[in-house]
Amino acid sequence: MKKIGVEEKGIQIMLPKSRNITLKIKDLPYPAANILKQQMLSVGGECAVSKHALLNSGGKTDVLLIGDKRHYSVLIEKLKNQYFALDELGEEIRKFINSENKKRIFRCRDKYLDLSEKTYIMGIINVTPDSFSDGGKYKSVDEAVESALRMVDEGADIIDIGGESTRPGAEPVPLEEELNRVIPVIKKLREQTDAVISIDTYKSEVAEEALKYGADIVNDISGFHFDKRMPEIVLKYNAGVILMHIKGTPRDMQKNPAYENLVEEIIDYFAYSIDIAKETGIDNGSIMIDPGIGFGKKWQDNYLIIRYLKEFKSLGYPILIGPSRKSFIGYLLDLPVEERLEGTISAVVCSILNGADIVRVHDVKEVARAVAVADAIAGKNKKFYEEI
């Protein structure tokens, strides 16, 4: 509009009409759904409900709202005096609409990541003998630290350190053994870099020790489901937290995982995890979600997660995605772990274009180059667009 010379006041009027937003609301009682439909139609939007809702008073229906920001703005006002908790629904809609305009900063202790600037890269350091891709790679603390520092030089913003394999079928590692694997690496790495350090663990004891020695983020594969003390530790140290979705445990997660609605069930899981975080007092700006590629999913499910990644934006939190070298790539291409780089890069780029904020990978140098190009295409690379 600016390029064709539209007046500023005109831009302000027309811009809210330029993009439709479709929202899905689950399990709304028929009377509430009918009121919502009437109100949305009255402001010029659209509302889809079950045909049974129009003829019956008992039962529930999912609802699809379709409109632009102007429609939703008027609808929210109309819902303020309605019954069936529609005023609360209006407030949730308002929060979602407004969240799209906020500057997105992820806070982890005394560090701040501006997620509008670029896609951040998390490099993987597994100090384990049995991880699916790089188990047994590091024979000493020095080797692990050297590899982490090399990743930072190659473009990693975050180093994720794990001491327990969570590959399908993996057995739990005793607490002391996990501590002995990760703490020396974190301690030495922190002495040599200011890069963000993440501890990949679902054990609160490991998380606390890691945070004491300089970790900034807790990457919990269970999303606060395995260890009830974990939220308190995150709060105590003002750490960032990554809440991942998993169906089952690493030991049994790949035994015929099934979903009625893949994305909805993952969102419901996140909603529970986020409620725990909020009740504990964890800062909203310190929470990130990860749909858990390969954790309790059929291989085809992982492609659907990446395809519909934008759906998770409805929760209002940054998204991390971890497709690196995983079996969903191997199944499709019939390739072993060590030959999945191109598939990993494809998954990373598609994830960025669909809304990923952080990508977790083994091959930092190669992925960093692909991320720079993807960011330029996605409009995240400010320098690129400032020079046009």
Report the CATH fold assignment for 105-386.
TIM Barrel (3.20.20)
Q: What confidence category does residue 17 fall into, taking pLDDT thresholds of 50, 70 and 90?
A: confident
For residue 16, pLDDT over 80 is answered with no
pLDDT at 169: 83
pLDDT at 386: 62
Catalytic residue among 37, 118, 167, 326: 326
User: Where do we find the tokens 């024979």?
Assistant: 139
For residue 369, pLDDT over 80 is answered with yes
Report which residue type is found at 77.
Answer: E
pLDDT at 101: 60
For residue 132, pLDDT over 60 is answered with no
Q: Which tokens hold the place of 286?
A: 């310190």
Which phi and psi (to 5°) does residue 173 adopt? -100, 135
Return residue ranges of the chain for CATH 3.20.20.20: 105-386
Cα(1)–Cα(60) distance, rounded to whole angstroms? 43
Q: Which tokens hold the place of 250?
A: 């690493």
pLDDT at 134: 55
Report the CATH fold assignment for 15-99.
Alpha-Beta Plaits (3.30.70)
Question: Which residues have a Cβ under 8 Å from the Cβ of 87 and sit 6 or more positions away?
Answer: 79, 80, 81
For residue 280, pLDDT over 70 is answered with yes
For residue 170, pLDDT over 90 is answered with no
Catalytic residue among 37, 247, 340, 360: 360
pLDDT at 295: 96
Q: What confidence category does residue 136 fall into, taking pLDDT thresholds of 50, 70 and 90?
A: low
Q: Which tokens hold the place of 291?
A: 């749909």
Strands (DSSP E) along 103-230, which ranges? 105-108, 111-114, 120-126, 158-162, 196-200, 217-220
Cα(113)–Cα(385) distance, rounded to whole angstroms? 20
Task: Tell me the mean pLDDT in the region 283-288.
Answer: 97
Q: Could you confirm whether 102 is annotated as catalytic?
A: no
Mean pLDDT of the chain: 93
The enclosing H or E element of 366 equals helix 364-378
Our CA angle for 263, 266, 268, nearest 5°, is: 110
pLDDT at 103: 73
pLDDT at 182: 97
Q: Could you confirm whether 278 is annotated as catalytic?
A: no
Residue 320 DSSP SS3 = strand
Residue 225 DSSP SS3 = coil
Cα(133)–Cα(162) distance, rounded to whole angstroms? 13
For residue 232, pLDDT over 80 is answered with yes
Q: Do 27 and 63 contact (CB within 8 A), yes or no? A: no
Q: Which tokens hold the place of 176?
A: 């002391």
Return residue ranges of the chain for CATH 3.30.70: 15-99
pLDDT at 387: 61
For residue 209, pLDDT over 80 is answered with yes
